[in-house]
Amino acid sequence: MDIFSDTVTQYTEFAADAAPTSPCFADWAGRVAADAEVLAWLESLPELKRQPNLVLAAARWHGVPAPGPYAALREALLGDDGTIRRTILERATQTNEAGRLATLVPAFAMAAGSGPVALLEVGASAGLCLFPDRYRYAWSTESGVRRAGDPAAPELGCAVLGSGPLPAAPVEVAWRGGIDLSPIDVTDPDQVRWLSTLVWPEHDDRRAQLDRAIAVARHDPPHLHRGDLLEELPAMVDRAAEHGPVLVFHSAVIAYLPDERRREFHRLMSGLVAAGRCHWVSNEGPRVLPEVTGTVPQPPGDEHGFVLGVDGRAVARTHGHGRSLRWL
């Protein structure tokens, strides 16, 4: 889903994305796309604030039950006294999905090898994906389940299709930090509750996983720098380099930049990689970084899920919440 597309297209595509695992959101988004009055209400918001994840989370934040009937959502939006609108304007979609680590960790190993790295996340939110070394992984392959990591650590599972390298151990992290316009403090109950509200209604397993990830992060909070990623990234790379080889990564973040800034980001990262200043792991929708998607002979034809890239080259397709990885 492209958040810069028109409102009807956004909600139609979001409904299709949600259909396999969230009947509630699929129903709500599909009905919004055909509801002229609700569309008019949405289009009174700034363009970047009309996105389904943000609007539906704000409605739930203020008591709209989910799963629940579309009528309740419609009534809440059209009868809003400004409360829901204010939440939409003040907050952001910052889904911090630690489950994506099951798809990112193989790419981390491809990029960085076996030595310790300084891990720098672009668009870090609460920094929950900055702890790849604090989980155990269970990759279900055609030849059986491959596991890596501390048996006593929380386990993240992922279905793997095709042939590609799976590491014997998670990457070792010498330093961890991130950049975000509005970093989330894992010790703040209000901010943590917002993260939980962003999890789709039927996804109780993801909510439980989020609770575990927050507990991991609270034990050793990462350094999160407030700022614009394009402006702050080069200096942050230099700062991280004081601790070891730098690995920059991001997941479902660059989609929030307009096209020209996406191209600028690609140029910036390509330059940093070419100069040997860092390695780069990207995990974005197929249309977000077309230069990465286009590095495979037959680019993905569908728009669902993400393209996983290493140093600007596409290596796999991944599920948006980390449930699957298909090597290209």
The pLDDT of residue 320 is: 85
Claim to verify: residue 36 and residue 112 sit in the same structural domain: no
Check pLDDT > 70 for residue 179: yes
One-letter identity of residue 29: A
Confidence of residue 2 (pLDDT cuts 50, 70, 90): confident
Structural domain that includes position 320? 98-327
Claim to verify: residue 273 and residue 203 sit in the same structural domain: yes
Confidence of residue 321 (pLDDT cuts 50, 70, 90): confident
Claim to verify: residue 132 and residue 202 sit in the same structural domain: yes
The pLDDT of residue 113 is: 78
Q: What is the CA radius of gyration of the chain?
A: 19
What residues pair up with 84 in beta bridges, in sequence order? none
Check pLDDT > 80 for residue 76: yes
Q: State the angle between helix axes of 7-18 and 23-32 in degrees (0 to 180), rounded to the nearest 10.
A: 160
Claim to verify: residue 158 and residue 291 sit in the same structural domain: yes
The last residue of a domain, from among 50, 67, 90: 90
Claim to verify: residue 170 and residue 41 sit in the same structural domain: no
Check pLDDT > 80 for residue 304: no
The pLDDT of residue 222 is: 84
The pLDDT of residue 1 is: 64
Claim to verify: residue 108 and residue 226 sit in the same structural domain: yes
Distance (Å, whole) CA 1 – CA 286: 10
Confidence of residue 29 (pLDDT cuts 50, 70, 90): very high
Grouping H, G, I as helix, E, B as strand and the rest as coil, residue 243 is coil
Residue located via tokens 């209000």: 190
The pLDDT of residue 302 is: 58
Instruction: Report pTM.
Output: 0.87
Q: How many domains does the chain have?
A: 2
Claim to verify: residue 53 and residue 27 sit in the same structural domain: yes
Note the pLDDT tens digit of each residue in 82-116.
999 999 999 988 778 899 999 999 999 999 877 89
Check pLDDT > 80 for residue 299: no
- Residue 1 is assigned to a structural domain of this protein: no
Share of the chain above pLDDT 70, in %: 98
CATH number at residue 113: 3.40.50
Q: Which whole number is the average pLDDT over 279-300?
A: 88
The last residue of a domain, from among 90, 115, 131: 90
Check pLDDT > 70 for residue 50: yes
Distance (Å, whole) CA 217 – CA 222: 7
Claim to verify: residue 307 and residue 183 sit in the same structural domain: yes
Q: Which whole number is the average pLDDT over 232-250?
A: 96
Claim to verify: residue 35 and residue 161 sit in the same structural domain: no
Q: Which whole number is the average pLDDT over 209-231?
A: 90
Q: Which residues contact 179 (CB under 8 A, 6 or more apart)?
A: 120, 121, 122, 123, 124, 224, 225, 227, 229, 232, 233, 236
- Residue 2 is assigned to a structural domain of this protein: no
The last residue of a domain, from among 42, 58, 90: 90
Confidence of residue 314 (pLDDT cuts 50, 70, 90): very high
